[in-house]
Chain A
Amino acid sequence: MSLKITNIQRFSLHDGPGIRTTVFLKGCSIRCPWCCNPENISDLPQFYFNSEDCIHCRECSEVCPVEILKEPRDVLTLAADELAYCFKCRKCVEGCPTGALGIYGEKISEEDLMSTLEMDREYYIQTGGGVTFSGGEPLLQADELLNIFKTLREKDIHIAVETSLFAPVSCLDLIIDSVDLFIIDVKILDAELADSVLHANLEEFKTNFQMISRKNKDMIIRFPMIKPFTFNRKNIDSLMDFIGDYNIKYIEIFTTHQLAAKKYDSLGWEMKKQECIKEEEIKELIDELEDISVEVKSLNFN
Chain B
Amino acid sequence: MYSIDTKIRTIPRDYHYTPIGNLTVHYAKLLNEGLMGIEEEIIEKLNDKNLDNSETSFLNCLLNTLESITVLKDRQLHHLRQLQEKNPENKGKDPENKNIRRLIEIFSHIPLHPARTLEEALQTVLFINSLIWMDGHSLVGLGRLDNVLYPFLEKDLSTGLLGLDEAKDLIIGFLRSLNKYYEYKSNALLGDTGQVIVLGGKNPDGTDSTNPLTLIFMEALKDLRLPDPKIVLRVHDNTPEEVWDMALRCLEAGLGYPLFTNDEVIINSLINFGYREEDSFDYATSACWEPFIPGKSLDQNNLTDINFLTPLMRLLKSVHEEKGNISEFKRFLGSYKIYLAEYIEEVVESVDKVDFEPAPLLSLLVDDCIVECKDISQGGARYNYYGLLSVGMGNTINALLNIKRMVYDEERIDLKGVYKVLEGNFESDEKLRYELSNKGFKYGMDEDLVMDLTNELINSVQLSLDNFRNKFGFKYKFGLSSPGFITNSLYFPASFDGRSHGEPFGVHISPVDNYNISYTTISNFASALNYDKAFNGGVVDIIAEKSFIKSIKDKFIDYLKVSFKEGVMQLQINVLNPEILIKAKEDPDSFPNLIVRVWGFSAYFKDLPEKYQDLIIKRALQYESQNHQYTTI
Please list the residues of chain A having a beta carbon within 8 angstroms of any beta carbon in chain B.
Answer: 7, 9-15, 18-19, 22, 24, 36-37, 55, 57, 59, 97-99, 119-120, 122-123, 126-127, 132, 134, 162, 183, 222, 224, 254, 256-257, 259, 299-301
Contact = CB atoms under 8 A, between A and B. Distances in A.
Given A119-B520, A122-B565, 5 more contacts: A24-B630, A97-B432, A97-B438, A301-B631, A301-B633
Given A18-B555, A224-B633, A120 B430 contact: no
A59 B429 CA distance: 12
B520 A11 contact: yes
Given A119-B521, A127-B562, A13 B552 contact: yes
Determine chain B's interface SS by DSSP, over half rule: helix
B624 to A, nearest CB: 11
B425 interface: no
B16 interface: no
Contacts of B431: 55, 57, 59, 97
B159 interface: no
A224 to B, nearest CB: 7
Contacts of A162: 632
Interface in B497-552: 518-521, 524, 551-552
A97 B562 contact: no
B518 A11 contact: yes
B633 A254 contact: yes
A13 B519 CA distance: 11
30 contacts: A9-B629, A10-B520, A10-B521, A11-B521, A11-B559, A12-B630, A13-B552, A14-B631, A15-B632, A18-B555, A19-B520, A19-B562, A22-B632, A24-B632, A37-B632, A55-B431, A57-B431, A97-B434, A97-B438, A119-B446, A123-B558, A126-B558, A126-B561, A127-B558, A134-B632, A183-B632, A224-B633, A259-B628, A301-B631, A301-B633
Which of B435, B439, B555, B561 has the most chain A CB atoms inside 10 A of its CB? B555
Interface residues of B, number: 29
Contacts of B629: 9
Nearest to A260: B631
Interface string B418-450: 000000000000111111001100000010000
Interface in B120-150: none
A96 B435 CA distance: 8
Contacts of B434: 55, 57, 97-98
B518 A10 contact: yes
Nearest to A301: B631
Q: Return the 4 tightest CB-CB contacts between A and B, nearest first.
A: A97-B435, A97-B434, A11-B518, A10-B518
Contacts of A13: 552, 555
A224 B633 CA distance: 8
B566 interface: yes
A13 B631 CA distance: 9
Contacts of A301: 631, 633
B630 A7 contact: yes
A210 B204 CA distance: 57
B558 A18 contact: yes
Contacts of A119: 446, 520-521, 524
A126 B560 CA distance: 11
B432 A127 contact: no
A150 to B, nearest CB: 23
A13 B632 CA distance: 11
A254 to B, nearest CB: 6
